[in-house]
Chain A
Amino acid sequence: MDIGIVFTALFVAFNCGILGVFLMLRKMAMVGDAISHSVLPGIVIAYLIAGTRASFPMLIGAAAMGLITTVLIEFLTKKARLQNDASIGISFTWLFAIGVILIAVFTKGGIDLDQECVLYGDIAYVNLDKIIVDGNLYLGPRAMWNQIPVFVLISVVILFGFRGWQITTFNPDYAASMGISVSRWHYLLMSMVSLVTVMAFEAVGAILVVGFMIIPPATAYLINSKLKMVIVLTLVFATLSVLLGYRLAIYFNGSIAGGMISVAGIIFFVIWCLQQMVKKLLVARSDENVGGWLVQENKIIR
C-alpha cells in the first residue's frame, strides 16, 4: 500500500466531506464543482502577474476567485432574483469562459499554461512532488502536507463555531433575529470551500474533490440522526471509500480516484437499500397494530 497516496486521499476526503455536510444542508452541494471551474481566470491572472507556475501565487489567485464566485452567486440570487442553481450555473460557466479566453489571448506568445495542467491533477502522481529533508528523510507527498494544516483549520473552525454553523444553516432568519451576522458565517464557509477545492484540485483532481464533497455527506444524511453524527459518519464513510477504493484500484490495476469514488457510490446504495428494508419492516408492523407508526415516503408520521 502506498501510504503517501492513501493519506493524501484521506485528508482530502475529510476536508471535502466536513465542508460538504454544510454545503448539502444549505442546498449548495454543487458549489464545490462550480468553484473548481471558476477559479481558472484567477489562476491565469496570478500567473501573468507573478510570471511563474509556482503554486503559491496561483493558490492566492484561485482562492480570491473562489470568493468572487460566491459573491457573484449571492448577487444573482438576491438582487437578480434567480434560482440558486441558475445563479451557480451562470457564475461558473461565465468565469470559466473568461479564463479560457485569457489563456487563448496570452498563450499566443508561447506561454506554457493550460487548464488541464492547472486544474486537473491526478492522485496517482502525488508522489512526484515529495518533501524530503536532509537529502534522505522522506516525509511524504507535498499534497498531503498541504491538506493537513487545512484539516486542522477546518476542524477548529467547525468545532468551535459549531453552534453558529448549526443555527445559521437551519434557520438563518432566526439567527439574524438574535443579531448573529449570517452573511459573515456564510463567507467564512465559502472561503474554506474555496481553499480546499483549489488546493485539492491541483493535487488530486476533480472527481475526488467533488465526489467526496457530496457522496459521503449524502450517505451520512440518509441515516439522518444528529448533525454531529452526520459529520462523524461522513468521516467514517470517507475513510472506508479511500481504503476500499484503493484496494479495488490496485486489484483491477485501474484508476485510484475512480476506485475511491466508485466505492463511495456503492456504500451510498447499500445504505439506501438497508434503510428501505428497515422502513418496510416498520410499515409491516404498523399494519399489525393500528394507531402505531405510519411510514410515509421519507418521514415517519405519528
Chain B
Amino acid sequence: MKERKVAVEAHNITVAYDRQPVLWEVDFEMNEGNIIGIIGPNGSGKTTLIKTLMGVITPDSGYVEVFGAEINRVRDQIAYVPQRESVDWDFPASVYDVVMMGRFRKNNLFHRSNTNDRKIVRESIEKVGMTPYINRQIGQLSGGQQQRVFLARSLAQEADIYFMDEPFVGVDAATESAILELMTTMKNLGKTLIIVHHDLQTVSEYFDEVLLLNTRVIDYGPVNSVLTDDNLKAAYGGQLNVLTKVGDLLKKREFPIREKEFKKRSKS
C-alpha cells in the first residue's frame, strides 16, 4: 500500500462561546483517502469543529493545518456541505444557481462563469440525479432533493477534502443511497470525506474511522475500536435511552440494522 499523507490535522484546539468551552484541547491527525465520521450527541461541538477545520471559525487557541499548510493557502482543495437547516430555502435561486456557487472563488467573484464552469455545474447536477429539476426554485424541492443540491454544489468545487454536516438528516431512502454511492465513488478517487453524523445505528456501515466527540475528543480510530461501551458512556453520559439502544447495537454489530427496522422489530 502506498504511503498516506495527513489530510487534516488539529493541534490543541479550544473554542469557546462566552467563555463556555465548546471544544477543549482537540488534537488529531486525519489521513487522506478515508471516510471519517464525527460522532457525538447534540451540542457536542461537531459543527463548531468542522467550521474550525475549514477556517470559518478562528479557534481561541491551537491551530489547524490542511495538507500540511495553513488553511488560506489550500482553500481550493476543500469543499463544504453545510447543515441543510442553516440556510433559507425560500431564497430566490434555482438549483443551477446554487450549484454554480460551487465554482465561486475568492478571486473570481467579479468575473462571470466560463464554459468550463457551466459544464462542471451541469455534470455535478447530473451526478446527484437532479437534472430534471435544474431550473426549479430551491424552495420547491423536498428535503432530500435540497440535500442533493448541496452535494452537487460541493462536487462542483472539485476539491480533495469534503466536509459534510449531517447530510443524512431528513432525507428519503433514495437520497440516502445516492449519498452513500457518491461517498464510495469519491473514496475510490482518493478523496477524503469528513462527515458529521449523529445516528449511531448506521456508523459502522458508513465510515472507515470515527472521531467520538463531546467537547473533548473521547476517542479516534477505526470504528470497532472506538465504539466501545466505555467510550459511548463517556460521550453520551447518562442518556439512558441512547445507551440501551447502543447496548443492543453492540450485540448486533455484525448485522447492522436501520433505525426503522429496529423500531418495527422492537414493537413486535
Chain A interface residues (CB < 8 Å from chain B): 25, 81, 160-161, 163-164, 166-167, 169-171, 173-180, 221, 224-227, 229-230, 298-302
Contacts and interface: CB of A to CB of B under 8 A. Distances in A.
A176 B88 CA distance: 17
Contacts of B141: 302
B72 to A, nearest CB: 6
B82 A164 contact: no
Contacts of B110: 160-161, 163-164
Interface string B55-78: 110000000000000001001001
A174 B101 contact: yes
B101 A166 contact: yes
B140 A180 contact: no
Contact of A178 (B97, B98, B104): B104
Contacts of B139: 224, 298-299
A25 B101 CA distance: 17
A226 B97 contact: yes
Given A170-B87, A171-B87, A225-B137, A176 B56 contact: yes
Nearest to B83: A173
Nearest to B111: A163
B72 A179 contact: yes
B187 interface: no
Interface residues of B, number: 34
Interface of B: 18, 51, 54-56, 72, 75, 78, 80, 82, 86-88, 90-94, 97-98, 101, 104-106, 108-110, 137, 139-142, 145, 163
A263 B217 CA distance: 60
30 contacts: A25-B91, A81-B18, A160-B110, A163-B101, A163-B104, A163-B110, A164-B109, A164-B110, A167-B101, A167-B109, A169-B91, A170-B88, A171-B86, A173-B82, A174-B82, A174-B101, A177-B51, A177-B54, A177-B55, A177-B56, A178-B105, A178-B106, A179-B75, A180-B106, A226-B94, A227-B97, A229-B92, A298-B139, A299-B139, A302-B140
- In the complex, the 9 A-B pairs of residues with the closest C-beta atoms, listed nearest first: A177-B80, A176-B56, A164-B109, A179-B75, A179-B106, A177-B54, A300-B140, A163-B109, A230-B92
Contacts, number: 91
Given A163-B109, A226-B94, A171 B101 contact: yes
A233 to B, nearest CB: 10
A171 to B, nearest CB: 5
Nearest to B72: A179
B93 A166 contact: yes
Contacts of B87: 170-171
B78 A177 contact: yes
Nearest to A233: B92
A227 B101 contact: no
Contacts of A160: 110
Nearest to A168: B109
A158 B137 CA distance: 22
Interface of B is mostly: loop
A-side binding surface: helix, strand, loop or mixed? helix
B104 A170 contact: no
Contacts of B72: 179
A301 B18 contact: no
A175 B80 CA distance: 10
Contacts of B137: 224-226
Which of B56, B88, B109 has its CB near the most chain A CB atoms (within 10 A)? B109
A239 to B, nearest CB: 20
B75 A225 contact: no
Contacts of A171: 82, 86-87, 101
Given A170-B91, A173-B51, A302 B82 contact: no
Given A227-B91, A227-B92, 6 more contacts: A25-B92, A170-B87, A170-B88, A178-B75, A179-B72, A221-B92
Max chain B CB contacts within 10 Å: which of A81, A178, A230?
A: A178
Contacts of B55: 176-177, 179
Contacts of A176: 54-56
Contacts of B145: 302
Nearest to A79: B18
B243 to A, nearest CB: 33
Contacts of B82: 171, 173-174
B38 to A, nearest CB: 16
Given A166-B93, A221-B92, A226-B92, A299 B140 contact: yes
A167 B80 CA distance: 13
Given A166-B101, A177-B78, A302 B142 contact: yes
A71 B75 CA distance: 28
Nearest to A223: B92
Contacts of B109: 161, 163-164, 167, 180
